Each structure stands twice: as structure tokens, then as C-alpha cells.
Structure 1
Amino acid sequence: MDFSYSQEQDMLRTSVAKLLERSYDFDTRQALVASDAPWSSEVWTQFAELGLTMLPFGEEQGGLGGSIADCVAFAPLFGEHLVVEPYAASTLLAGGALAASGTSVALEWIEKLASGEATLAFAYEEGSGTATPEQTTMTAESVGDGVTLNGEKRLVIAGDAADAMVVVARRSDTGKLGFYLVEAGTNGITTRPYKTIDGRAAATVVFNQVSATAVLLEDADDALEAMLAKAIIVQSAECLGAMKALLTITGEYAMTRKQFGQPIGMFQVVAHRLADMKIAYTKALSTLTYTTALANSGSETARDIAVLKGQMGKLGREIGEAAIQTHGGVGMTDELSVSHFHKRILAFDASLGDHAYHLRRVGQLA
């Protein structure tokens, strides 16, 4: 099987890399995170111009009909540059719910999303990393011709800045999960915005007798599983990009930082640590490549996704901790990018079930 990128994927990677190298260096990114802006509207517009926001949607929905492999091709670059724009949340998760719906309202929002005119949030998490849809407790109750939502969602990426939210809630009558569109400013919504440890704009959103703008899908259990699997694969690719950056930065530092007249990379303990980082990165790359190939052919299983999520979180933490150890105290400071890459990996691991949960699940699904 050929695991290399196609010519089109290489061209897309090159275009995204040039954009991020030009507009997303570390100092620019840090200034953006420190500002009141949730993300760069200019960069988001450029993502749309490159076709990233319309890539996952089918041609019949006005998209480019891209595959999961196409998204994985450029996603590591987001991790290498610590991008804070809500690509996965808005395009893959919220956009995936719209695509699964297929209603006229959904198609209207897909057009806005694909053109870069709008961003959407995906309100799913309810606790310390909602690992499975079974843990969803937020309720949706039929009232007259509409649906009323009650409950709380946490860690809603772009929850206070998006034009609308796709909310996952459990129907009070059937017990099934559904997708519900709620436009920004709807009565009964209370948001508590904050920045995550890795610099992304998020919010806790409380729904108190909120009337859904539209019902997207009333039986969404299967669609949700597929969307979460796709998001985990693409976010794993972002995580891999952060790992690669840490590997490069730490290797360069070890060969320039000197003690006792020679680079610290020449000392056996540091050399072994760098070798372990390289091995961990290679394992992560192999796992991601294999899982992406399975998903691209539609043959991935829940166990494959659990293996990927468990491995990426575990190996990412190992690389981050080794990078900080090699840099010493300066590796913990905000002035150096090392700590920020490690925070991105930790944030990835904590969402949608951490590595310990997913590695246990591998055994359960065996």
C-alpha cells in the first residue's frame, strides 16, 4: 500500500505551510493569544480561500469532496504552528453534523461555513472529557412544534464567538441523541468564556429553556460516532505536528547548549532521551498513518480509533516531558515555545477521553 501523499495533497500542504510561515510565527501567535480576539479572522478567511473549510463537504453540498487523508495531510502543520483557529470544532464536528442532517437549514449553514462567512461551535463536552456519547445527559424536550434544550456544556471551542452552535442533546422521550442548531444570541443561553491552557477560545455554555433554532437530526447516535472518529484522527495529526516541532527544537537545543566544553547532546543520558523521543514520534506517525489508511477505505473500527487516541496521548506526553527535561527550567517558561507545544498535547489528550481511558477501551473491545 502506498502511504505517500498524492500530488494534490503535496500542493495543499505547501500552500498551507507558506501561509502559516508567513502569518503565524510564534511571536505573532503569542500576540494573538494575548489579545481579546478569539482567533485571527484574517487567517480564517485565508483558510477558506485555500479551500480548507469546504474540503470535507461533498460536492453535492457545495464542497470539494475531500477525504480524511486530505485533512490529515495538512493538519500536522496546524500543530507545528499552534494554530488556535477552530478548524476541527467548526468544520469537522459542527460541519459534520450539518452534513449528516441534509436539511435545507443545514445546507444554508454549510454554504456559510464553507465560504468562511461563518464559524460554528460544537457543544458536546459535559465533564472531564466526555469520552463516549453515552455520557451525554443534556436534555431536548419537544414543546409544541419546537424543541427546548436544558443543561450545561463545557469546553465548547469558539462557544462565545461562533455564529451558531450545534448542540448534542438526549431526547427526553426516546433517549436517543440528536443534533440541534442554536444561533448566537438565542434567549436562555449563558456563556462563560475563557482561554484553554493551549490558547484557544472556549466557553462553558448553560442552556435554560432554550428553543432550538432548528432540529438537524433526531437520531444522531451513529452519525456522532463517525464524526468523533474523524475528528480524533485529524486532531491526532495536529498533535503529531506538535510532537515533530518538539523533536526538532529539542534536537537543535541539545547540539548547541554546551556544558563542560561540549554539547549536552553528546552526554549519554541526553542522547538516550533524544533517541526515545524519536522512537515515540515514529510510533505515533505509524499509528496515525495506519489508522488514516483504514478510515480512508472505510474499514476502521472503534478499537482502531481507541488505539490511535490512546497512543497519541501517551506518546505525546512522553515527548513533551522529555523536551522540557532537556531544556531544564527554561522549558517551562511562556517565552519559549516548548511549554506551549506540550500544553497543546495535554489539551488534545484531555479531550474526548484521555489516553488511559482509550487504552483501557482497547482491551474491552478486543
Structure 2
Amino acid sequence: MDFSFTEEQQMLRDTITRFLGKAYTFDTRQKLVSSEQPWSPDVWNILVEMGLTELPFSEKAGGLGGSIVDIVSVAEPFGEYLLIEPYLSSILLAGKALELGENDISRSWLQKIISGKAIGAFAHEEGKGTATTALVEFTAKDTDDGYMLNGEKRLVLGGGEADILVVSVRKSGRAGDTGGIALMLVDPKAEGIEINAFQTIDGRSAAHIKIDNVMVPATHLLSEDAYEALSAIIENASIALCAEAVGIMRALLNITNEYTATRKQFGVPIASFQAIAHRLSDMKIAFTKAQATLYYTTALAEAGRTTSRDIAIMKGQIGKLGRAIGEGAIQSHGGVGMTDELIVSHHHKRLIAIDAMFGDSEYHLRKVGLN
């Protein structure tokens, strides 16, 4: 297997890194997170102009036909600069679900999302163990006019600002059954929908959404038997999340190396102290393991050979290693490493949030018998 990026992928990666290095400094990001805006419309528009919102979709759907390797190549710099724009939620989750639709409504919404004219949100998490894809309790009952929806979705990224929601529902069976799960489009402005928006610990916009007796027309059904498709969407999004985590780990390693080489105690750099040197060595080993796991799993996905076990090993390993690197970076910086004034703590909080999404490291390692 070839674990290197192509020349085109490396060029795209370098272009994104240069842009974010100028336009997305830590101070700029902090001002944005502290403002009332959930993300920067200017940055989002530039990502659209770069073609990044078209990248994951097939040419038939109006995209560029990019591969999972293309997504990984851009997700790493997104992590390094702690991008809060809704690429994961609107493009890789809601957008990929919309690509499943075969009518004019789904195609229209997908084109709006790709062009940056609309934002989608993916409502799947229910706060009751939905790291297992089949644990969906949110109900959709057949009626003469379509479907009657009832339930609650939690931690919906971008849910407070979304123009359209993609919701996982259960049409039949009970939680845990792989059959009976569907994906539907829901208008967030419909009567009977209560949206409680908030900011997550890593500075992103999210919402808890309650849906009470909301009627959805039959044309809003994206996928009738959606378990396999839903699992594939979440698995690919997990690879992108892990790529973001590896980008964060690289940034933490570089920041910590620079800090310990310049911070002096007793007239010498603290990197010369045995305890610090050993910690830095452990961090470098952890990063190498995380990057190798990510690239190996991505290569498997590119070849169409990934299994749920491969995804679980990747998610479990990178979640565990990311926490170790984040904690090592904070310990090396001392007390100041825990403050909001330093980017180190923000990197660590993002790593914790990434670990929690779609099942944390303990869940995935236990799933494959490694914990």
C-alpha cells in the first residue's frame, strides 16, 4: 500500500495550510469563538471557492469525485488550526446523507449545501449509547400524508443554524435492530420543533433538538433501509475526525518542542531535563503510532477493504493516543498550559471532543477486545 499523498493532494494541503496560517491565527479564532457568530462566513466562503465543499461528492452529484485520502489530506490542517466551520457536520455528514436521495428535493438541498448557500446538520446522537449505529429510538410512523416524527436528538453540530436537518429515524423494530432505520429530511423551522443551541467545550456550535408530532412528507425520505449507508457515512466521518486529531497532535508536538527548547530553568532549556526529555519522546512515539494507524486505515478505505473492526481500532487508538499527547503537552507547559490564553488547552479540548464523537476510545477498544 502507498501511504504517501499525491502531488495534487500535497499541493491542496499546502494551500490550505498557508491560507489558515494567515487568516486563522489563534487570536482570530478566539475572537470568533467569543463572538455571537457560530463560525466565520468569510472563511466558509473561501473554503467553498477552493472547491472543498465539492470534494467528497461524486461528479454525478455535482462534486469533484474526491476520495477518502483527499478528505484526510485537508482534515489534518483543519485540526492543526482548530477550524470551527461546519465542514464535518454540513458536508461530510448531512451532505453525504443527502447524496443518497434520488428526488429533486434532496438534489436541490445538496446543491445548496455544496455551493455554500445553505447549511445542513446531521441529527443522529440521542444520548443513549448511539455509538452503536443501530441504537436509534427516534420514531417515524407511517401516515396517509407521510411520516409522523417524535423524539429527541442531542449534540447536533450546527443544529442551531441549519437550514435543513438530516435525521436518523426508526420506522420499525426496536433500538438495536439494524432493520427499520431510515434517513429523512426535516425542516428545522417546522412547528413542533424545539431547538436549544449552545457552544461545545471546543468552541463549536451545537444544539439539542426535540421533535414533537412533526409531519414529514414522503418525498423527504432519503433512504428507506439506511443502516448500511448510515454506518458508512459515520465510518468515513470518523476517519476525517481522526485525521483532524492527528493534525492537532502534530501541532501540539511542534508547540511543545519549541516551548521546552526555549523555556529555561537554572540557566538551561527544560528540554534537557530527563523527565521532560522522556515525556517528549513518549509524545513523539504516540504521534507516530496515531499517524500510522490513520494512514493505514485510510489506505484500507481507499481500497474498499475496511471493516467495522478497522474503524474501531483506529478510533480507539487515536482517541487514547491523542489524550496522552494532550496531557503531555499541558504537563510540559506547566500551569499555564491549562489556561485559555494558550492554544495548548484548546487543542486538548478538541481532542477530547473528537474522542467522544461516535464512541470514545474505551468503547471502541472494548468493542474489539483490546481494553
- TM > 0.5 fold call: yes
SS state of the match for residue 202, structure 1?
A: strand
Is residue 23 of structure 2 the alignment partner of residue 23 of structure 1?
yes
The 8 Å contact of residues 179 and 215 in structure 1, kept in 2 or not, is answered as yes
Letter in 1 for 2:204: R
Cα deviation, 1:131-160, whole Å, max 9, x if unaligned, reads 111221111111222111111111100001
SS state of the match for residue 312, structure 2?
A: helix
Q: Distance in 1 between matches of 2:27 and 2:143?
A: 50
The 8 Å contact of residues 134 and 227 in structure 2, kept in 1 or not, is answered as no
Q: Distance in 2 between matches of 1:98 and 1:79?
A: 25
Q: Distance in 1 between matches of 2:156 and 2:337?
A: 29
- Find the counterpart in structure 2 of residue 50 from structure 1: 50
Q: 2:184 aligns with which of 180, 185, 188?
A: 180
The 8 Å contact of residues 171 and 181 in structure 2, kept in 1 or not, is answered as yes
Letter in 2 for 1:260: F
Q: Identity rate of aligned residues, in percent?
A: 55
Measured on the aligned residues, the alpha-carbon RMSD in Å equals 1.3
- Find the counterpart in structure 2 of residue 93 from structure 1: 93
Cα deviation, 1:307-345, whole Å, max 9, x if unaligned, reads 000001000000000111111110010000000000000
Identify the range of structure 1 (18-27 vs 97-106) with the bigger mean alpha-carbon deviation: 97-106
Shift of 1:264: 0.6
- Find the counterpart in structure 1 of residue 338 from structure 2: 332
Identify the range of structure 1 (40-49 vs 304-313) with the bigger mean alpha-carbon deviation: 40-49
- Find the counterpart in structure 1 of residue 194 from structure 2: 190
Shift of 1:130: 2.4
Is residue 195 of structure 2 the alignment partner of residue 203 of structure 1?
no
Q: Distance in 1 between matches of 2:106 and 2:54?
A: 14
Letter in 2 for 1:226: A
- Find the counterpart in structure 2 of residue 263 from structure 1: 269
- Find the counterpart in structure 2 of residue 244 from structure 1: 250
- Find the counterpart in structure 2 of residue 355 from structure 1: 361
Shift of 1:129: 5.9
- Find the counterpart in structure 2 of residue 81 from structure 1: 81
Is residue 233 of structure 2 the alignment partner of residue 227 of structure 1?
yes
Q: Distance in 2 between matches of 1:286 and 1:137?
A: 37
Q: Distance in 1 between matches of 2:292 and 2:173?
A: 44
1:294-333, aligned counterparts within 5 Å?
294-333=300-339
Cα deviation, 1:278-309, whole Å, max 9, x if unaligned, reads 00000000000000000001000110000000
Q: Distance in 1 between matches of 2:224 and 2:88?
A: 23
Cα deviation, 1:245-278, whole Å, max 9, x if unaligned, reads 1101111111111111101100000000000000
Q: TM-score, normalised by structure 1?
A: 0.97
Identify the range of structure 1 (97-106 vs 353-362) with the bigger mean alpha-carbon deviation: 97-106
Q: Distance in 2 between matches of 1:130 and 1:339?
A: 28
Q: Distance in 1 between matches of 2:151 and 2:172?
A: 12
The 8 Å contact of residues 172 and 181 in structure 2, kept in 1 or not, is answered as no
Letter in 1 for 2:196: R
Shift of 1:96: 1.2
Shift of 1:173: 6.6
Letter in 2 for 1:322: G
- Find the counterpart in structure 1 of residue 11 from structure 2: 11
The 8 Å contact of residues 258 and 264 in structure 1, kept in 2 or not, is answered as yes
Equivalent pairs counted in the alignment come to 364
Q: Distance in 1 between matches of 2:230 and 2:309?
A: 16
Identify the range of structure 1 (348-357 vs 213-222) with the bigger mean alpha-carbon deviation: 213-222
Cα deviation, 1:157-181, whole Å, max 9, x if unaligned, reads 0001011110011114795111110
SS state of the match for residue 101, structure 1?
A: coil
Shift of 1:99: 1.1
- Find the counterpart in structure 1 of residue 292 from structure 2: 286
- Find the counterpart in structure 1 of residue 117 from structure 2: 117
Letter in 1 for 2:2: D
Q: Distance in 2 between matches of 1:31 and 1:224?
A: 36
Identify the range of structure 1 (49-58 vs 204-213) with the bigger mean alpha-carbon deviation: 204-213
Letter in 1 for 2:118: A
Letter in 1 for 2:4: S
Shift of 1:184: 2.7
Q: Distance in 2 between matches of 1:281 and 1:212?
A: 46
Letter in 2 for 1:294: L
